[in-house]
A = this chain, B = another copy of it.
């Protein structure tokens, strides 16, 4: 599954560079060369990802060298960098890795701080070729740190460029949101507005062709305002900001600490919260109480609650939130219990039934939801809605 193209097309559009063609070929020298020749015949800027590794099927540099007639040579700085990379990790560098120090003559080297393959820019016959490592995290890293500034400095951006802005919603269905803003969606002018369902969230994307950020904001602002007037209570943020980041910001601002107690999500909420650098400032920890014995002995959920109402109940969720807050000495306790499936459902308590409770700082709330989908869908969505309950509760304080 190619995820790099999608990322690159979006980023290039933001820079005012139109992406006209995408080609994929396997690890075959002839076919890679053909693809490079065709690309060079119709585009000014060609970005290649992958094939910069140390193994014999990493052929991108060789193919480019053959097509452009630019020999590869071993760049001393790259050899030194590789030696240093392996030395730091106490690992012996294999001879294979020296292939990664080969560079076409005249190329610019793009530093990759998180992997062994540097990126490369080659300029030949007024065409630019940018080679990036294949692993998505490294590709994005090199693009962000090295390619973007280079493109801004070297490629003319005086034309209209495509700019988009995404409003993100939780707690409303796609069809409901479609109904609420149908007239705006159907008004196919500048900006265009489109909906996209994504992992239990609904994203609303506003896109416009403009000459400047200022012009973009002039076009977008009234449309955004109109949308938020109608469905603002489900909106949590824009563009690349995540629910996890927003929660981190809110907890930091209010100087509140958070802990979680998780059953069906098995640590997913804690894991999402701690995906944010610096989360140790507000997140103390979590008790994943998968077995009832842990709910009873560590979380101190009274045995009578578990036997009278069951592990998946409002009463248990509230007790878990209350107790985890006490036990881990936090301001807020967020708890979740439910049935992620595929087994374990009953008529009365079906697969997808989830209770989310939040306790502390004058908050005492428990919500019941029934989610559908695979085990993973149910776990992801319920952790999203738990984070959203937290967000809205803090907001209302």
Report copies per complex: 2
A138-186 interface with B by 8 A CB criterion: 138, 141, 173-176, 178-179, 182, 185-186
Which residues of B sit under 8 angstroms from A179, Cβ to Cβ? 94-96
Which one of A60-68, A231-239, A374-382 is at the B interface? A374-382
Give me the 8 closest cross-chain CB pairs, A-B, nearest first.
A266-B274, A267-B267, A267-B270, A286-B288, A22-B24, A285-B294, A267-B271, A284-B291
B137 touches A377 (CB 8 A): yes
Q: Does A228 contact B (CB under 8 A)?
A: no
Q: Does A241 contact B (CB under 8 A)?
A: no
Which residues of B sit under 8 angstroms from A3, Cβ to Cβ? 1
Knowing that A20-B25, A137-B377, A267-B286 touch, tell me 11 more A-B residue pairs with CB under 8 angstroms: A1-B6, A23-B23, A114-B373, A137-B373, A267-B268, A267-B269, A267-B271, A271-B271, A280-B291, A283-B291, A288-B288
Q: How far is the CA of A25 from the CA of B18 in the complex (A)?
A: 11
Which residues of B sit under 8 angstroms from A298, Cβ to Cβ? 285, 287, 298, 327-328
Q: Does A123 contact B (CB under 8 A)?
A: no
* Given A275-B379, A377-B114, CB of A289 within 8 Å of CB of B285: yes
B270 touches A288 (CB 8 A): yes
B275 touches A270 (CB 8 A): no
A267 touches B262 (CB 8 A): yes
Q: Does A135 contact B (CB under 8 A)?
A: yes
Q: Can you give 22 A-B contacts (C-beta < 8 A)?
A: A2-B2, A20-B26, A21-B25, A34-B42, A55-B174, A88-B370, A93-B175, A96-B179, A97-B175, A115-B372, A135-B197, A137-B377, A267-B274, A267-B286, A274-B288, A275-B376, A277-B375, A283-B291, A285-B290, A285-B291, A293-B329, A298-B327
